[in-house]
Structure 1
Amino acid sequence: MTETHDVALEGGGFDFRVRVYPAAEPNGAMLAWMHGGAFMFGTLEMPEADQVGRRLSEQGITVVSVDYTLAPLDALESLGPPPPDAPVPSPEQLRAEADAAGPRARFPVASLQVVAAFDWAVAHAAEFGADPSRVALGGASAGGNLAAGAAMRLRDRATTVPSILALIYASVHDGILAPNAELQAILDDLPPFLIFTPETREALNSNYLPDPAADEHGYAFAGGHDVVGLPPTLLVTADRDSLRPSAESFAAELALAGVDVRLVRQRGAVHGFLNMVGEPAAEATLALMVEAVRSR
């Protein structure tokens, strides 16, 4: 079993930490990774964080999992109550779990912390048998959004940039993009608590970024901005996910900007499938991530 250790860092005026999953047999690659949680939730212990760290480190990739500062809980009510038998936490459970998260802050704090975590990974890569030029950046859901925005910052800084971006069911636009007829038919058959509506997404996004005018460079929502010069990117989507059009549109934006991009849809999967340990979509995506990160 991988022996992890935590490292205290500072970014955006807040203390935060990273958890390092050293590769048992390093292959030279490293990944700075962000969990999801609608910007308001998520921990280093959730499978979306811990499973990625453990599984990729078993494949020779040291993972730096980032415990970034979460946004305030002001948008919690927008999620609405799930049915009593739904396999998701209730708002009350989420609030109870979130009370232990410590200080909270809106954009740009988490974005700046991702950059600080990436810089730490590059500076310490050699200690874990990794090449500083082979440090990837990635995340799931809101964590994928943070990874994309941090990649924009790193590109504009013009120093060390990620070897590759790995964005898993990420929503990188400020708002939900309209589904096509194929996706709408899929969404019509889903229970409401599994779907992000435009109203829900607006509440979550404005909770993270109250003033869209503050995002002129795309550091909060990279989609729809100038993405020329971003690193090669792997995008994996969930088939039954109202956020899927964002990743699909972003893939097109990257391709038009001359960025190497691979887009994979996990058929039949719902948003958040990396938290479903052993599910085929999770297993297939972990394999895709290993391949992408290790190849650069």
Structure 2
Amino acid sequence: MSAASSATPGSPQASSDPRPQAGRPDAALDPQVAQLLDLIARAKRPPINALDPLDAKIAYEKSAPILDIAPLPVHHVQDLSVPARDGHAIGARLYAPREASWADPLPLLLYFHGGGFTVGSPASHDPLCRLLSMRADCMVLSVDYRLGPQWRFPTAVHDAFDVLAWAYAEAGALGADPARIALGGDSAGGTLATACAVEARRLGHAPVLQMLIYPGTCARQDTPSHRALAEGYLLTAEMIQWFFAQYLDQDSSRDDWRFAPLDGGGSGADVAGCCPAWIAVAGYDPLHDEGVAYAAKLRAAGVPAELAEYPGMIHDFFKLGRFVPAVGQAHDDAVAALRGAFGAA
């Protein structure tokens, strides 16, 4: 999932409250985040889930740049087309921080944007991808996978898998090093990245990292953080279910591990042998607990998983850096994780 800046009217609960129930953080809400939520509440714009899906897509694209950092200049940006299994041309945007060659290939981050499988695009996540490319000194391939409600589950997963296979096959032609490919995504894009980590293992590939930014991983959205933070923090319970109503082909697909890698079908994805993970979670995010649980699932399977907690933050905070200075630390941490995985720390 991911929420537009106009997404949720409603004042946040008092940031100084101790955890009154399971699922609520002990830490105070970041003061700039609290101010932002207050501004959104005062604007009284309709939540994204009150819009027609097409209007929601437009609204998200318009609102995405407002609170995000200014886009960094990069050496090269190229729009590409990747063939899908059904003949569809999947759009992708390739960022390069410097010239690459066969003698000096660059690491590559395969990135999947958030947006509840319904909104979002490489354009909405352009500043983040530019930052990761320049500061981690890697190529970033940002994937324009197909969205609901026109394209329902498992189309987005198939698109992600097809781009994954293509990236490994074409790495040399792109100037990328196939031995240094990472997978990444935020929210719904984090779900796709988890699935790609499992698919990569099946294909015999060895990504160096899965960078999961507040990923969606559970089947029923019934964790303590989902219950305690259902209203008032940008991403609401009603919005989450609206997103999934646009995306899922049928309710039983919630039990498919490609939708719910944590617990789909009871045991979720078989993650043994998958690549290491760096997982960022926000304290005031309904998705907090499932990110924590997914890190535990990976560790239980013997997969190294670093959990980065940002207690005063909300969902989608990686894209609020223009308004919330503390987001800069999370960006630093993500860059450090990538550089470490690429052997460039």
Structure 2 length-normalised TM: 0.67
2:290 to 229, 232, 246: 246
User: Could you tell me how far apart the structure 1 residues matched to 2:259 and 2:288 are?
Assistant: 18
Seq. identity, %: 31
The offset of 1:211, in angstroms, is 3.2
Contact kept, 8 Å, 1:177 with 1:246, in 2: the verdict is no
What amino acid is aligned across from residue 340 of structure 2 in structure 1? S
Cα shift readout 1:118-171 (whole Å, capped 9, x = no counterpart): 22322333345532021101100111011112222222x332142210010111
1:287 to 332, 339, 342: 332
Q: Which has the larger radius of gyration?
A: 2
What amino acid is aligned across from residue 247 of structure 1 in structure 2? G
Residue aligning to 2:212? 167
SS at match of 2:224: coil
Q: In the alignment, is residue 67 of structure 1 matched against residue 106 of structure 2? A: no
User: Could you tell me how far apart the structure 2 residues matched to 1:214 and 1:51 are?
Assistant: 33
Cα distance, 1:61–1:252 mapped onto 2, change above 3 Å:
same
Contact kept, 8 Å, 2:272 with 2:303, in 1: the verdict is yes
User: Could you tell me how far apart the structure 2 residues matched to 1:39 and 1:11 are?
Assistant: 17
Residue aligning to 2:250? 211
User: Could you tell me how far apart the structure 1 residues matched to 2:232 and 2:167 are?
Assistant: 40
User: Could you tell me how far apart the structure 2 residues matched to 1:137 and 1:274 are?
Assistant: 17
Q: Map residues 6-155 of structure 1 onto 2, 5 A cutoff.
A: 6-13=79-86, 14-24=88-98, 28-46=106-124, 49-59=125-135, 60-72=137-149, 104-127=150-173, 129-155=175-201
1:194 to 225, 234, 244: 234
Cα shift readout 1:197-245 (whole Å, capped 9, x = no counterpart): 2x54344335322335457661222112122122100100111111111
Cα shift readout 1:98-117 (whole Å, capped 9, x = no counterpart): xxxxxx31111111111222
Contact kept, 8 Å, 2:233 with 2:314, in 1: the verdict is no
Cα distance, 1:115–1:165 mapped onto 2, change above 3 Å:
same
User: Could you tell me how far apart the structure 1 residues matched to 2:84 and 2:254 are?
Assistant: 19
User: Could you tell me how far apart the structure 1 residues matched to 2:140 and 2:259 are?
Assistant: 23
User: Could you tell me how far apart the structure 2 residues matched to 1:128 and 1:294 are?
Assistant: 20
What amino acid is aligned across from residue 98 of structure 2 in structure 1? A
User: Could you tell me how far apart the structure 1 residues matched to 2:236 and 2:273 are?
Assistant: 31
User: Could you tell me how far apart the structure 2 residues matched to 1:25 and 1:285 are?
Assistant: 27
2:317 to 257, 273, 285: 273
Contact kept, 8 Å, 2:233 with 2:285, in 1: the verdict is no
Structure 1 length-normalised TM: 0.78
SS at match of 1:57: helix
Contact kept, 8 Å, 2:97 with 2:139, in 1: the verdict is yes
Contact kept, 8 Å, 2:119 with 2:147, in 1: the verdict is yes
* Residues matched between the structures, number: 256
Cα distance, 1:126–1:18 mapped onto 2, change above 3 Å:
same
Cα shift readout 1:265-295 (whole Å, capped 9, x = no counterpart): 1131111112213434532222222222222
User: Could you tell me how far apart the structure 1 residues matched to 2:134 and 2:174 are?
Assistant: 13
User: Could you tell me how far apart the structure 1 residues matched to 2:82 and 2:225 are?
Assistant: 43
What amino acid is aligned across from residue 172 of structure 1 in structure 2? T
The offset of 1:193, in angstroms, is 6.3
Cα distance, 1:158–1:43 mapped onto 2, change above 3 Å:
closer
Cα distance, 1:119–1:289 mapped onto 2, change above 3 Å:
farther
Contact kept, 8 Å, 2:79 with 2:91, in 1: the verdict is yes
SS at match of 2:296: helix
Residue aligning to 1:259? 303
Q: Which consecutive residues of structure 1, in runs of 5 or more, have no partner in the other structure?
A: 73-103
CA RMSD of aligned residues (A): 2.5
